[in-house]
Amino acid sequence: MLFLWLYMFYSCAGSCAGQAARGSPAPPRAAPPLPPLLPGEPGEESSLEEQRAAPDAGSPISSFFNGSGTKRLPQAIIIGVKKGGTRALLEFLRVHPDVRAVGAEPHFFDRNYERGLAWYRDLMPKTLEGQITMEKTPSYFVTKEAPARISSMSKGTKLIVVVRDPVTRAISDYTQTLSKKPDIPTFESLTFKNRTTGLIDTSWSAIQIGIYAKHLENWLLYFPIGQILFVSGERLISDPAGELGRVQDFLGLKRIITDKHFYFNKTKGFPCLKKAEGSSKPHCLGKTKGRTHPDIDQEVVQRLRNFYRPFNMKFYQMTGQDFGWD
């Protein structure tokens, strides 16, 4: 059918133009519709404005396929956590032909909720029957209002949380901020309300995010534990295919993403894709990923480990998984 359609298209292109030249002038063409929202480039946090401004491919074939499908609200959301490995997971998942995802973080359920579900749906890529629409916004996990809002959209939404050793996560979080604001105080000084007494400052977001058990309690008021998948950020590095296998099973997808899709980049220290979505070239996450952490006082690191230990133990009990952080 496609070849027949193309034959008719190109046959008409010449003959119809000739008839128009001999007869009355052709009516003016209507303005082309606005291009559909495009996902961001792999590994980049493109803004929603940049996505809307991105041009469509101009060929008849690409236009034919880009016009297919329907924009749907997401059936699955990666809700957290920041600096846990959410970008890596999303880029790995986008290799699957039955996953369509927004490239940028919509921040709908935390920052843009007043814009409404119609606005949110319009951000989503078009999907065909059987495909899953996804998005990821790591700050949802620590946003108090997010669970009720997502439940209100759909109680059946599948949720994915990528977690990582909370001490390492906090240092990674600080490293990211340091790269943007080199004059911020030291990690050690921000960690404590009073270093002499060893009182940890839980109001600092880098510390607060890692109290996973506390945040999970809020989600369990609206979603059963079986509707939330917990992905190990450490195993996502050491065994990406294994973790992706669990994710594909959770989403009800055929296990298409396997070992053959990955290679380990020794320079960056994490796995990369042999072929990214829509490309035949190898792809690693951008330079903002895998930053070298600053040296942190080991006494401070140990105090943080002692602080997180009871919360980690509770989190293991709640999820039924031992992540091996202690």
Q: What angle do CA 163, 164, 166 make, to 5 degrees?
A: 110
Rounded distance between C-alpha atoms, residue 150 and residue 145, angstroms: 9
What is the DSSP code string of 23-75? Answer: SSPPPPPPPPPPPPP-PPPTT----HHHHHHPPPP-SHHHHHHHT-SEE---S
- Residues in the annotated binding site for 3'-phosphoadenylyl sulfate: 83-87, 164, 172, 289-293
- Residues in the annotated binding site: 83-87, 164, 172, 289-293
Rounded distance between C-alpha atoms, residue 194 and residue 201, angstroms: 8
Question: Choosing from 83, 155, 158, 268, which is the catalytic residue?
Answer: 83
Distances 236 to 206, 231, 233, 261, 267 between C-alpha atoms, Å: 21, 8, 5, 13, 17
The yes-or-no answer on residue 82 being catalytic is: no
Rounded distance between C-alpha atoms, residue 40 and residue 104, angstroms: 6
Active site residues: 83
